[in-house]
Chain A
Amino acid sequence: MQASLPKSAPENAAVMHFATAESCLEINDFSLAYAGVPALQGLSLQVPRHRVTAFIGPSGCGKSTLLRAINRLHDLNESVTLSGNIQLEGRDIHAPQLNVAELRRRVGMVFQNPNPFPMSIYENVAFGLRLQGRMLKRKRDDTVEWALQSAALWEEVKDRLYRSAWTLSGGQQQRLVIARTLAVQPDVLLLDEPASALDPISTLKIEELIRNLKSQLTLVLVTHNMQQAARVSDYTAFLQGGELVEYGPTDSVFTNPRLQRTENYITGRMA
């Protein structure tokens, strides 16, 4: 079932053609409705592996809904109906035999507002590890340190690992949440406006982190901030009214959009 796309061309994201990247997530004719009101209509797109893909669009365009659908967070809401499919590495994520908890371990998610658990910094990062069963303390300690280093937080918290996570600043909390997600070694990291509640310095740190992380995993970023999308993403999908309007390499979407609607939105000419 593995999507048969050609192996990637030489590592040069700026000039690499879209179709040459291997896809990690495939969304096929996906529609979603809340209590009969459609939120996403017939979306199809492929998210390339080890790249940053940004979803942009006006409020209510469905970009967050799509992100949450990839993590099956809509399961808890009984009024949601779906059609079409989403495939992770070629497997339908809505398949009945699929373990939702396992899917969510492989697809990590970071939310708009930092949501560290009310426990120590160490325990926050170890939370996902503990869910996976017993593990030698030594190995767990190493994994926690590795995750915190990957999230560029280790130097700031290594002396207070056992203090409450709620004593951290907003930016640190968001990086802690990213570390917590990284600790379970997901294949995909979904970021839902991860920097919109943070100050500019913290935002820059998060963006740098996102760029660094793509060597390890596939990232999908939802953002309201055009510059952010342009700065960190390799591919950009523009959504409007629950439909995919334009999708392509970030450079071409921002500098040479194919559609007038995209250009209007990107240049801020849309009401």
Chain B
Amino acid sequence: MIQHLAKNRDEAWPWLSAASVALSLLMLAALVSLLVVRGLGHFWPAPIEEVTLADGQVIAGHAVREAPLPDRPGHERLYYTANRDLDGALWQWVALDTIQTRSTPVELVLLDRASWGDFIGRLVAVVMPNERLEGEAAWQALQQHLNQRNTVANGAPSRAASGDSYVPGDTYLIVESVEGRQRQQPLHVIHRAQRPNAMSMGEKIQTWGSAVWRFLSQGPRAANTGGGVWPAIFGTVLMVLLMSLLVTPFGVLAAIYLNEIAHQGRLTRLVRIGVRNLAGVPSIVYGVFGLGVFVYGIGGSLDEWFFSDTLPSPTFGTGGLLWASLTLALLTLPVVIVATEEGLARIPDAQREGALALGATRLEMLTRIVLPMAAPAMLTGVILAVARAAGEVAPLMLVGVAKLAPQMPLDGEFPYLHLERKFMHLGYHIFDTAFHGEDVQAALPLVYATALLLVLIVLVLNLTAIFLRHHLRRQRGN
């Protein structure tokens, strides 16, 4: 009996370990596919449904999702109806059993406007100073105008800041909601116009591609609930690169000291344990340290010495790119030290003695034999550091990240790299969009898309380092 159990156990454990691998992979796949479907699906030009309800009300919008009714059996469907300036809301729940007719008329347009968000309805007319076009001709004229402007000004509305106030002499549109309420819209507030119901598959894919591209390449609009995330991508990558530049030399030198130079006594062991434990300190603690030491301490002193003419408005005495990179470098230092040390410890002493026996000094031995051999391990450390740093949000909120940074930290203005500027970060962008927007429902797809982007960026940074490591290993012949 006992033997039988033991035999079973012997057969069971490989399955158990395989199952845990499978479970982990499944969860990972679920995570990524959720981000891909929700994130990328947001940019797809979904059909606009025109729905007539039992009480005679007519609405039009994208069907978003369904949920059970709270008070009676049956389901209700959420529609994205836009037209916040007319209805006061972007969304409407509709009980399925009250729907009389559903159709997808091809002439329904979706207008992306500078203020009040999207408009869904029909285009009645385009009124130019000397001409008034209606029907299909109006749509053609609108398309022509928008295309013209896009090629000139790269998609930015000419007078976005001026809102939708009508200036005499401007071209304007007359639009009508599906219920028949009309509005005048100056042409310059319209970013884009599309008729998703009239699109072919090819056009849809093209529209989707350009929407994704805009998301990647443009700055945010409407308090981060719309527009793109380019400044956040740029800020994240720049901060991580700067952090890597700061942490690698420090980490590698520290590891060399601990492993190659220091007397291997109790003190060294204690320091090593200390370093390993630093990796477990919660990141917000590093944020507090960065705020106290880098921002207020060093930054405040720098301001007093070099930027006293601009005080009391701080230059370095407030959160910025440099302090954020330094704080994260400190946070990831243990990872780099530990990985490098492991790499150094794996190098056989025979290699070191071989180099010394040929008349190499200790420095020559280090630079020509030990460091090249430990380079893959160092890169592993940097990979781990990048993965950790790119995903950190908490400490950044204390030392330099901004909800909306007016200026990029890298531009054409001397000295090009502005270390004191605040920057945007994808992780913080997710947090801000998800919890601090006015309309969480509208922001949610952007949160998924941004999260997907963050994962992809970490992946790309890691793959670069892994490729580099592979290249190094091949070069060294092992």
Could you tell me if A131 and B354 are in contact, using CB atoms closer than 8 angstroms? no
- A100 CB to closest chain B CB (Å) equals 8
User: Which of B36-44, B132-140, B152-160, B356-364 is found at the contact surface with chain A?
Assistant: B356-364
Q: How many residues of B contact A (CB 8 A)?
A: 21
Could you tell me if A181 and B353 are in contact, using CB atoms closer than 8 angstroms? no
- Which residues of chain B are within 8 angstroms of A181 by Cβ–Cβ distance? 357-358
Known contacts A78-B263, A115-B350, A127-B368; A108 and B477 CB within 8 A of each other: no
- B268 CB to closest chain A CB (Å) equals 12
* Per-residue contact bits, chain B 320-357, to A (CB 8 Å; 1 contact, 0 not): 00000000000000000000000000001011011111
Most buried by A among B263, B358, B372: B358
Known contacts A78-B263, A113-B350, A165-B477; A118 and B373 CB within 8 A of each other: yes
- Which residues of chain B are within 8 angstroms of A71 by Cβ–Cβ distance? 357
Complex-state Cα separation, A127 to B361, whole angstroms = 13
A111 at the interface (CB under 8 A from B): yes
A256 at the interface (CB under 8 A from B): no
- B56 CB to closest chain A CB (Å) equals 81
Could you tell me if B348 and A108 are in contact, using CB atoms closer than 8 angstroms? no
Could you tell me if A115 and B361 are in contact, using CB atoms closer than 8 angstroms? no
CB-nearest residue of chain A relative to B372? A118
A254 at the interface (CB under 8 A from B): no
- Which residues of chain A are within 8 angstroms of B477 by Cβ–Cβ distance? 118-120, 163-167
Q: Which of B354, B360, B372, B478 contacts A166 (CB 8 A)?
A: B478
- B375 CB to closest chain A CB (Å) equals 11
CB-nearest residue of chain A relative to B364? A131
Could you tell me if A115 and B354 are in contact, using CB atoms closer than 8 angstroms? yes
CB-nearest residue of chain A relative to B265? A78
Known contacts A113-B350, A118-B476, A166-B477; A104 and B263 CB within 8 A of each other: no
CB-nearest residue of chain B relative to A71? B357
- Which residues of chain B are within 8 angstroms of A167 by Cβ–Cβ distance? 477
Could you tell me if A184 and B350 are in contact, using CB atoms closer than 8 angstroms? no
A35 at the interface (CB under 8 A from B): no
Known contacts A127-B368, A131-B364, A165-B477; A115 and B348 CB within 8 A of each other: yes
- Which residues of chain B are within 8 angstroms of A9 by Cβ–Cβ distance? none
* Per-residue contact bits, chain A 92-124, to B (CB 8 Å; 1 contact, 0 not): 000000001110110011010101111110000
CB-nearest residue of chain A relative to B478? A118
- Which residues of chain A are within 8 angstroms of B353 by Cβ–Cβ distance? 73, 109, 111, 115
Could you tell me if B358 and A184 are in contact, using CB atoms closer than 8 angstroms? yes
A175 at the interface (CB under 8 A from B): no
CB-nearest residue of chain A relative to B264? A78
- Which residues of chain B are within 8 angstroms of A120 by Cβ–Cβ distance? 477
Could you tell me if A127 and B348 are in contact, using CB atoms closer than 8 angstroms? no
CB-nearest residue of chain B relative to A106? B359
Could you tell me if A127 and B355 are in contact, using CB atoms closer than 8 angstroms? yes
Could you tell me if B369 and A117 are in contact, using CB atoms closer than 8 angstroms? yes
- B148 CB to closest chain A CB (Å) equals 61
* Per-residue contact bits, chain B 439-462, to A (CB 8 Å; 1 contact, 0 not): 000000000000000000000000
- B251 CB to closest chain A CB (Å) equals 22
Could you tell me if A128 and B348 are in contact, using CB atoms closer than 8 angstroms? no
Complex-state Cα separation, A71 to B353, whole angstroms = 10
Could you tell me if B359 and A104 are in contact, using CB atoms closer than 8 angstroms? yes
Complex-state Cα separation, A166 to B351, whole angstroms = 13
Could you tell me if A111 and B359 are in contact, using CB atoms closer than 8 angstroms? no
Could you tell me if A108 and B355 are in contact, using CB atoms closer than 8 angstroms? no
**8 additional contacts (CB under 8 A) given A104-B356, A111-B354:** A111-B353, A115-B350, A115-B354, A117-B351, A127-B358, A166-B477, A177-B354, A181-B358
State the 8 A-B residue pairs at the shortest beta-carbon distance, nearest first: A164-B477, A105-B359, A115-B350, A109-B357, A128-B358, A118-B476, A115-B354, A104-B359
The residues of B with any CB-CB pair to A shorter than 8 Å are 263, 348, 350-351, 353-361, 364, 368-369, 372-373, 476-478
